[in-house]
């Protein structure tokens, strides 16, 4: 938790999104819950947007704005 507060958000955010995946996995293994299509789509949207942001920040840091 301390790293989440003081770390660079572009680096730390990837680890924050993994909690969603862990929650889905634990829900399946422990409680035998299978996420429905809407939950899976929402999770993919959240993780995908995080990955896109990470990719975009990496490009901007290298100087390739793409514009």
Arithmetic mean of pLDDT, 13-41: 86
Q: What is the pLDDT of residue 30?
A: 96
The pTM for the full model equals: 0.59
Arithmetic mean of pLDDT, 39-43: 88
**In this model, does residue 21 exceed pLDDT 70?**
yes
Helix axes 9-31, 37-62, angle to 10 degrees: 160
**What's the whole-number average pLDDT of the chain?**
79
Name residues whose C-beta falls within 8 Å of residue 50's C-beta, 6 or more positions apart in sequence. 13, 14, 16, 17
Rounded to a whole number, what is the distance in angstroms from the first to the last CA of the chain? Answer: 36
User: Is residue 44 a contact partner of residue 36, using CB atoms and an 8 Å limit?
Assistant: no
Arithmetic mean of pLDDT, 20-30: 90
Residue 24's pLDDT band (cuts 50, 70, 90) = confident
DSSP 66: -
Enter the tokens of residue 36.
């429905």
């Amino acid at each position: 938790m301390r790293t989440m507060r003081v770390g660079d958000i572009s680096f730390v955010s990837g680890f924050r999104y993994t909690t969603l995946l862990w929650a889905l996995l634990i829900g399946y293994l422990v409680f035998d819950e299978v996420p429905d299509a809407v939950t899976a789509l929402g999770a993919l949207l959240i993780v995908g947007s995080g990955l896109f942001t990470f990719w975009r920040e990496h490009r901007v840091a290298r100087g390739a704005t793409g514009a």
